[in-house]
Amino acid sequence: MRLSTLAGPLYRGLSLTLCAAVVAAVPLVAQEKAREMAIDTQRSTITIHVGKSGLLSAAAHEHTIDAPISSGTIRESTAPHIEFTVETAKMTVRTDPKFDAKTQATIQTDMEEMTLETKKFPEITFRSSRIEKVADGQWKVDGDLSLHGVSKPVSLTVKQTGNSYTTHTVLKQTDFGIKPISVGGGMIKVKNEVEIDFQIFPRKA
């Protein structure tokens, strides 16, 4: 039998096999994309707790900062991923009854101009590089946090709480080129370490 006689059916069979493989893969690709959801920016929260230190720290105030997520996505699949952006100009110091209006405004201005330098560094971003499941409803999330023009690797333990994902971490301001605010020659100053709580809600279709 001549090779040319076999070539036709062989090529047709190979083409059909390749077409079948492509068709079968399309739903899987679509499924992976469907699992990538926008973060619900209305419900999700990032809360930063700023402490005080120094010999006269009793005269200072601790305060809480809200850092709303402006955009982001989360992918729940065999290759999970999360990324989000915070606009620094939208971060606000929570109103505290212990502060008068002037003090509240001063703290807000100091945060924007001296700590975050919002005009120079308008965004804070996080992008995961590896997510590993360590237990039911719990993951180890490694990624890069970009803040104040500095990008650093961070590692978080994330838990599923109802319909949201939560985590808590502590960061040093100096790791990101930020000098903690200090007055009175250091007698009253903001702690270098800040505590951060995340609660992230995916926006379900």
- For 114-136, the pLDDT digits (tens) are 999 999 999 999 999 999 999 99
pLDDT of residue 24: 46
Give the number of other Cβ atoms within 10 Å of residue 199's Cβ: 15
Percent of the chain with pLDDT over 90: 62
The larger pLDDT score, comparing residue 109 to residue 182, is at: 109
Task: Please count the helices (runs of H) and the strands (runs of E) in the chain.
Answer: 2, 12
Query: Best-predicted range by mean pLDDT among 20-34, 93-107, 155-169, 170-184?
Result: 155-169
pLDDT of residue 60: 56
Residues paired with 193 in a beta bridge: 172
The larger pLDDT score, comparing residue 100 to residue 21, is at: 100
pLDDT of residue 53: 64
What average pLDDT does the segment 126-147 reach?
A: 97
The DSSP secondary-structure symbol of 79 reads S
pLDDT of residue 183: 61
CA distance 86 to 71: 7
pLDDT of 33 higher than 90? no
What average pLDDT does the segment 183-195 reach?
A: 71
pLDDT of residue 58: 44
Going by their DSSP bridges, the two strands 188-200 and 45-53 should be labelled as antiparallel
pTM, whole model, 2 decimals? Answer: 0.78
pLDDT of residue 105: 92
pLDDT of 22 higher than 90? no
Cβ-in-10-Å burial (0-12, 13-18, 19+) of 115 comes to: buried
CA distance 44 to 184: 38
Place 181 in a pLDDT band, splitting at 50, 70 and 90. Answer: confident
pLDDT of 26 higher than 80? no
Place 91 in a pLDDT band, splitting at 50, 70 and 90. Answer: very high
